Amino acid sequence: MLRFIRKRTEKVGLAPGTLVHVGEKKADHVRIRVIDYDQENLEERELQSIDECMPYRDKPTVTWINIDGLHDVDVIEKIGKTFNLHPLVLEDIVNTDQRPKMEDYENCIFIISKMLSCDDKEGRLNIEQFSLLLLPNVIISFQERIGDVFEPVRERLRKGKGRIRKMGMDYLMYTLLDAVVDNYFIVLEKIGERIENLEEELIAHPGPETLQAIHHLKRELIFLRKSVWPLREAISALERGELDLIQEKTTVFLRDVYDHTIQVIDTIETYRDMVSGVLDVYLSSISNKMNEVMKVLTIIATIFMPMTFIAGIYGMNFKHMPELETTWGYPVVWLVMIVIGGVMLAYFRKKKWL
């Protein structure tokens, strides 16, 4: 799980603004896609080089430039120059280790959030950094790998239905953030299913691997929380921020995303409580099992030790043991032993051990 805490060591000592990609290289090459639209028209194309986005900079239409793959720092640097970005913004984009935040620069708004996904097979949680730059007329989004949660947004843009083409660039930003946060619910649902499975497993056949699973889940929830919690603050700042680039009428939509973020956080906290509960049940099920094991041992030992002792008595080789000579000795001993066993059993039944 420590893959989440990525190696920043190589960056230490460099000047601020030096671009070094921190994190795994998740894409083969950098892919640049542009969607440029206003209420009437929409143009969608894939750029070969970053220089091609130059003309969009000063166009009055809304332009959404999406970049998949952050490992090529040259591309990022060029974007920085083209759009005149602060070096620290560029640094944060390639450093995929950031916590979600919203920063208000002179000429742009910069948002970092995390995109989550679950491997379907193993249920492993993947966290990918998603950065968003809001410039006048241009939105630039940065993703670590190809494949995202924005396909429905693109579809809505293409169809031109609804509000999305009429409202401005800040509404697009909202839509993207909303898509990211909506996606958290899918991840949460998968985790919810894993908790349910865990609980069933706990009742059916708990074992050390159950503990491993609880432990694993607990840790994923820690990381999930770490990824979502600061986003709440960032979105709240966006909503209240009286930022020039965000229109009054978009604020109500941002409040909605904010609500969703709080719901996500609430659910994570609930899951944490639930997993803690599962751990408690697991631990006391261990104790219960131990109790059961000990009861079996105690019952067996308590019944057979006295009986074996009696058998031992009459196995002694003393010359003068009058009982040995009698004919009724053997059956009487049997009787005594059965009585002892019966008394013990009754005692255990009374104690509810049986």
Contact positions with its own copies (CB under 8 A) in 296-315: 296-298, 300-302, 304-309, 311-315
Q: Which of residues 186-205 bind its own copies (CB under 8 A)?
A: 186, 188-189, 192-193, 195-196, 205
Q: Which of residues 236-295 bind its own copies (CB under 8 A)?
A: 252-253, 255-256, 259, 262-263, 266-267, 270, 273-274, 277, 279-291, 293-295
Q: Which is nearer to its own copies, 74 or 189 (CB)?
A: 189
Q: Which is nearer to its own copies, 26 or 190 (CB)?
A: 190
Provide the β-strand partners of residue 144. Answer: none
- Largest Cα span, the chain: 120
- The Cα–Cα gap between 338 and 346 comes to 12
The only residue of 208, 242, 248, 350 in contact with its own copies, by rule CB under 8 A: 208
Burial 9-37 (b: 16+ CB within 10 A, else e): eebeeeeeeebebbbeebbeebebbbbbb
Binding to its own copies by CB under 8 A, coded x per residue (else -) over 107-146, reads ----------------------------------------
Q: Which of residues 30-49 bind its own copies (CB under 8 A)?
A: none
Is the Cβ–Cβ distance between 178 and 239 less than 8 Å?
Answer: no
Minimum Å gap between C-beta 200 and its own copies is 12
Pick from 270, 275, 141, 110: nearest CA to 198: 275
Count of residues touching its own copies (by CB under 8 A): 116
Residue 58 sits in the site that holds its own copies (CB under 8 A)? no
Question: In which element (H, E) is residue 331 found?
Answer: helix 329-350
Minimum Å gap between C-beta 145 and its own copies is 19
In the DSSP assignment, the letter for residue 100 is P
Q: Which of residues 84-113 bind its own copies (CB under 8 A)?
A: 86, 88, 91, 97-99, 101, 103, 105
Residue 53 sits in the site that holds its own copies (CB under 8 A)? no
Question: In which element (H, E) is residue 310 found?
Answer: helix 248-313
Kindly indicate which of the ranges 44-52, 58-66, 213-221, 234-242 contains the residues binding its own copies, using the contact rule CB under 8 A.
213-221
How many residues does the structure list for the chain? Answer: 354
Count of CB atoms within 10 A of residue 251's CB? Answer: 19
Pick from 88, 101, 96: nearest CA to 21: 96
Minimum Å gap between C-beta 142 and its own copies is 17
Minimum Å gap between C-beta 19 and its own copies is 13
The only residue of 73, 211, 243, 345 in contact with its own copies, by rule CB under 8 A: 211
Minimum Å gap between C-beta 69 and its own copies is 23
Q: Which is nearer to its own copies, 54 or 305 (CB)?
A: 305
Q: Which of residues 9-28 bind its own copies (CB under 8 A)?
A: 9, 11-17
Minimum Å gap between C-beta 121 and its own copies is 19
Q: Which two tokens stand for residue 127?
A: 């966290």
- The Cα–Cα gap between 115 and 126 comes to 8
Residue 183 sits in the site that holds its own copies (CB under 8 A)? yes
Q: Which is nearer to its own copies, 13 or 60 (CB)?
A: 13
Is the Cβ–Cβ distance between 19 and 91 less than 8 Å?
Answer: yes
- The Cα–Cα gap between 126 and 193 comes to 17
The only residue of 28, 43, 151, 209 in contact with its own copies, by rule CB under 8 A: 151
Question: In which element (H, E) is residue 123 found?
Answer: none
Cβ-Cβ contacts under 8 Å for 135 (sequence gap 6 or more)? 83, 107, 108, 245
Residue 160 sits in the site that holds its own copies (CB under 8 A)? no
Kindly indicate which of the ranges 4-12, 37-45, 61-69, 138-146 contains the residues binding its own copies, using the contact rule CB under 8 A.
4-12
